[in-house]
Amino acid sequence: MLNWLDERLELKKFKEKFLSKTFPTHPSFLIGEIALFSFITLVITGIFLGLLYEPSTKMVSLFGAMVPAAYASVVRIDLLPMGMLIRRIHHWSAMIMIAAILAHLMRVYFTGAYRKPREINWFIGLGLFGISLFAAFTGYLLPYSNFSVTATSIGYYIAKSVPWIGNWISTLLFAGDFPSTATVPRFFFLHVMFIPLVLASLIGLHMVILVKQKHTEPAGNLKKKESQNGKRLIGIPIWPEQAVISTAFYFFLLFLVILIATYIPLNPIETYGPPASGTPVMRPDWYFLIVYGFLKLIPGDLSFSILGGKITPETIGGVLFPSFLILVFALIPLLDRSKEPQNYIVNPLHRPFMTSFGITGGVFLSMLVVSGYIDVLKIAPRTMLVYVILASAAAWVVSYTLLRFYNRDKDGGKHV
Amino acid sequence: MVNEPGKTMNKDNESGITRRKFILSAIIVAILGSFASLLSLLKVLAPAKKGGGYVSTISPGDTLVYASGSNIGATLRASSMNPGDAVLVYPKGKSSNPANLVQLIRLQESSFKAPTDVKLTDKGFVAYSAICTHLGCTVSWVKNEKSPDASYTECFCHNSIFNPSRGDKVEGGPAPIPLAQIGVKVSSDDSLVFTSNFNGKIGPQV
């Protein structure tokens, strides 16, 4: 059988060329795989859900009450054997996928793996992060509960608040005004076809470039290789070692996700009910808390116009601030001006500036997540803004001082 | 006229255009042109706006009915509300337009201060648009049981706070402008009717 295939497809050549690519053995290199595996789980559970979901807002009868058809179909999915579990696995996998992307991004940042020649993959990775968030946003609307409609409505007005072209962007994205009957079918198509295709293509590109460029590797490997006059990368090959590890790892992750999904519900559709006139007390999923928290901090009187474009608190919190974050992330590899290809991991402790910058950014964004809870913590927005700035400044001073001290100590050792 | 191959490749050609250059520019024009023509699809994908934004259809004389809760759609009775209470209401028969959603509040008659339009209030009843001016969520009522006049309106989406005894002016959070006030009065049969239109902009100010 294998021979038959090999004669036709030249499997042996493929194995030599591709399957012998070496993987580093450090566990931090598995974080990206968590994101990839979550995506696979999302696709599999998404197929199940997509077969049963009805993308329509026309009113139908459900147990005697008139509710939108989309809402009714999700309630029916919940009532199927394992239906609710599949929905929760889907939702939890999305939360985990975005967390894994962020953790993977942090690993790449702190070890300097984004430097030449890997800038392209850094940009693709950022794109994957942004598109995953967009996938999550379009998924919010589909159950068409009161939560869905409120959350999407907020997104609609943020899109509308883009200066100059806001109206055009919002009608393009939401197929007209929101709420209207056209938005659900459009979001359904974006969520189940368009975005997954873009994600899958970009993931493919991300991995092809990875195979071509190979992983970064620990600096210690340099000496090892010199002494052995050895290969480019020390590690284990894709086939069979890494394949076995990855498969086992996937099923372990699947086990964890199913375990979490079994016991911890996420925004059950019945809690919020079908769209109604009141807005419930609600918070978005964790990855939107950064923007959500920032929106809460902006004072309402901060609006002005330039050249006919209106800048409102929504524009600042929902458009300018996220764009600024993306810009900072995109500029990171351009700041590094090394001419030679950098194929070895840098120890984060040896890069005081970049590491403290990363830590400060992390503290800043985490404090914005905390800002999402000022109503629970009973902190005034202005006070919270001061806390955010103080915490970020403290993070910078402490981490930078400590790292400088750590490195000076090392240099001092040499001189003495 | 048919050119001989050798002649068209000749650089001394009068027009100065070689076959390679011509084909290359033709390809570029074709690619750009086909993409540019596809841009017209963007127009199709964004349907023309029908009105757009929040446009209220409340007219003076409309009766107030409950917009939420168990007696949704029923006529509101003035005697059912005490100072410190608030409900979401619609004008009767016009509940399909979210711009018509109003928060009716009852406070002590003496508690209103500028910029509240006292002419638009009656027997302590005051009504404001219930659509937050920040991002369009419906506002909620935070009741203070001990001193009803210290109750206030809050949007639970991003915690904008409005002061109902001061014309719903923004006391905190990201909302850019107050919620617009609308006139109400208690009629002889204990129901309430609208007496005016909104005195300002309603809906998200984007």
Tell me which residue has tokens 């509101």: B76
Q: What's phi and psi for A163, nearest 5 deg?
A: -60, 150
Q: What's phi and psi for A59, nearest 5 deg?
A: -80, 130
The answer for B89, left when phi > 0, alpha when psi is -120 to 50, beta otherwise, is beta
Q: Using CB atoms, which residue from B67, B157, B173 is nearest to A277?
A: B67
Across the range A198-209, mean pLDDT stands at: 96
> What is the Cα–Cα distance from A161 to A314, expressed in whole angstroms?
6
- Of the candidates A134, A96, A128, the one whose C-alpha atom is nearest the C-alpha of residue A210 is A128
Residue B172: predicted pLDDT? 85
User: Given an 8 Å threshold on Cβ–Cβ distance, is A381 in contact with B46?
Assistant: no
Q: Where are the beta strands (DSSP E) in chain B?
A: 64-66, 86-91, 102-106, 125-129, 140-142, 152-155, 160-163, 169-172, 181-182, 184-186, 192-194
Looking at the structure, tell me whether residues B82 and B179 fall in a common domain.
yes
For B141-151, letters b (16+ CB in 10 Å) and e give: beeeeeebbeb
Domain presence at residue B70: yes
Domain presence at residue B189: yes
Q: Which residues neighbour A382 within 8 Å (Cβ) at sequence distance 6 or greater?
A: A299
Instruction: Please determine, for residue A413, whether its predicted confidence score (pLDDT) is greater than 90.
Output: no
Looking at the structure, tell me whether residues B79 and B136 fall in a common domain.
yes
User: Given an 8 Å threshold on Cβ–Cβ distance, is A154 in contact with B137?
Assistant: yes
Residues of B in contact with A177 (CB under 8 A): 49-50, 52
Q: Say what percent of chain A tops pLDDT 90.
A: 58
> What is the Cα–Cα distance from A367 to A384, expressed in whole angstroms?
9
With an 8 Å Cβ cutoff, is A153 touching chain B? yes
Domain presence at residue B48: no
Residues of A in contact with B172 (CB under 8 A): 380-381
Looking at the structure, tell me whether residues B150 and B97 fall in a common domain.
yes
User: Given an 8 Å threshold on Cβ–Cβ distance, is A157 in contact with B140?
Assistant: no
3-class secondary structure per residue, A319-367: HHHHHHHHHHHHHHHHHCCCCCCCCECCCHHHCHHHHHHHHHHHHHHHH
Question: Are the C-beta atoms of residues B112 and B121 closer than 8 Å to each other?
Answer: yes
pLDDT of A125-183, one tens digit each? 999 999 999 999 999 999 999 999 999 999 999 999 998 888 889 989 998 888 888 89
- pLDDT category of residue B33 using cuts at 50, 70 and 90: very high
Tell me which residue has tokens 């009504």: B127
pLDDT of B73-114, one tens digit each? 899 999 999 889 999 999 998 888 888 999 999 998 888 988
Residue B37: predicted pLDDT? 87
- pLDDT category of residue A416 using cuts at 50, 70 and 90: very low
Domain presence at residue B169: yes
Q: What's phi and psi for B17, nearest 5 deg?
A: -100, 125
Q: Using CB atoms, which residue from B156, B172, B205 is nearest to A381?
A: B172
- pLDDT category of residue A300 using cuts at 50, 70 and 90: confident
User: Given an 8 Å threshold on Cβ–Cβ distance, is B156 in contact with A314?
Assistant: no
Structure tokens at B125: 């009843």
Looking at the structure, tell me whether residues B84 and B127 fall in a common domain.
yes
Domain presence at residue B105: yes
Question: Are the C-beta atoms of residues B93 and B165 closer than 8 Å to each other?
Answer: no
Residues of B in contact with A281 (CB under 8 A): 140, 156
> What is the Cα–Cα distance from A366 to A290, expressed in whole angstroms?
7
Q: Using CB atoms, which residue from A182, A312, A375 is nearest to B206?
A: A312
Looking at the structure, tell me whether residues B129 and B162 fall in a common domain.
yes
Q: Say what percent of chain B tops pLDDT 70.
A: 90
> Domain A25-276+307-346's class?
mainly alpha
Say if strands B86-91 and B64-66 run parallel, antiparallel, or are unpaired: antiparallel
User: Given an 8 Å threshold on Cβ–Cβ distance, is A314 in contact with B135?
Assistant: yes
Residues of B in contact with A276 (CB under 8 A): 68
Task: Report in angstroms the alpha-carbon separations of A161 from A157, A253, A361, B143.
Answer: 6, 40, 26, 32
Residue ranges of chain B whose CB lies within 8 Å of a chain A CB: 42, 45-47, 49-50, 52, 67-68, 88, 90, 98, 101, 130, 134-140, 155-160, 170, 172-177, 204-206
Across the range A202-230, mean pLDDT stands at: 82
Tell me the shortest Cα–Cα distance from A271 to chain B, in angstroms.
Answer: 15
Residue A412: predicted pLDDT? 46
Q: Using CB atoms, which residue from A166, A182, A280 is nearest to B47?
A: A182
Across the range B59-66, mean pLDDT stands at: 92
Tell me the shortest Cα–Cα distance from A301 to chain B, in angstroms.
Answer: 5
Looking at the structure, tell me whether residues B136 and B69 fall in a common domain.
yes
Question: Are the C-beta atoms of residues B19 and B9 closer than 8 Å to each other?
Answer: yes
In this predicted model, which residue has the larger pLDDT, B4 or B17? B17
With an 8 Å Cβ cutoff, is A342 touching chain B? no
Residue B51: predicted pLDDT? 53
Q: What's phi and psi for B149, nearest 5 deg?
A: -75, -10
Instruction: Please determine, for residue A9, whether its predicted confidence score (pLDDT) is greater than 90.
Output: no
Q: Using CB atoms, which residue from A153, A279, A312 is nearest to B156?
A: A279
Q: Is the peptide bond before A240 cis (omega within 30 degrees of 0)?
A: yes
Structure tokens at B141: 């009522």
With an 8 Å Cβ cutoff, is A376 touching chain B? no
In this predicted model, which residue has the larger pLDDT, B9 or A330? A330
Find the helix packing angle between A83-110 and A31-52, rounded to 10°: 150
Tell me which residue has tokens 């191959």: B5
Looking at the structure, tell me whether residues B95 and B176 fall in a common domain.
yes
Q: Using CB atoms, which residue from A157, A297, A374 is nearest to B204?
A: A157
pLDDT of A388-404, one tens digit each? 999 999 999 999 999 99
With an 8 Å Cβ cutoff, is A303 touching chain B? yes
Domain presence at residue B45: no
Structure tokens at A269: 């559709």
Domain presence at residue B201: no
Across the range A114-130, mean pLDDT stands at: 94
Q: Which residues neighbour B173 within 8 Å (Cβ) at sequence distance 6 or greater?
A: A296, A300, A381, B134, B155, B158, B159, B160, B161
Residue A94 carries which DSSP code? H
Looking at the structure, tell me whether residues B76 and B34 fall in a common domain.
no
Number of domains in chain B: 2
ipTM for the assembly: 0.76
User: Given an 8 Å threshold on Cβ–Cβ distance, is B206 in contact with A157?
Assistant: yes
pLDDT of A71-110, one tens digit each? 999 999 999 999 999 999 999 999 999 999 999 999 999 9
Q: Say what percent of chain A tops pLDDT 70.
A: 96
Residue A390: predicted pLDDT? 96
Q: Using CB atoms, which residue from B101, B155, B175 is nearest to A277?
A: B101
Residue A216: predicted pLDDT? 86
Q: What's phi and psi for B155, nearest 5 deg?
A: -95, 120
Question: Are the C-beta atoms of residues B53 and B108 closer than 8 Å to each other?
Answer: no
User: Given an 8 Å threshold on Cβ–Cβ distance, is A277 in contact with B50?
Assistant: no
- pLDDT category of residue A414 using cuts at 50, 70 and 90: very low
Domain presence at residue B138: yes
Mean pLDDT, chain B, integer: 86
Residue A233: predicted pLDDT? 65
Structure tokens at B85: 């209470």
Q: Which of A171, A279, A370 to mutate to test the interface with B (most CBs of B within 10 A)?
A: A279
Q: Where do the structural domains in chain A lie, given as residue ranges?
A: 25-276+307-346, 347-416
pLDDT of A252-293, one tens digit each? 999 999 999 999 988 888 888 888 877 888 889 999 999 999
> What is the Cα–Cα distance from A252 to A273, expressed in whole angstroms?
34
**Structural domain of B36:** 5-40
Across the range B11-36, mean pLDDT stands at: 84
Residue A277 carries which DSSP code? S
For A191-202, letters b (16+ CB in 10 Å) and e give: bbeebbebbeeb
CATH number (domain holding residue B171)? 2.102.10.10
pLDDT of B141-197, one tens digit each? 999 888 888 899 999 888 899 999 999 999 888 898 999 999 999 999 999 999 999
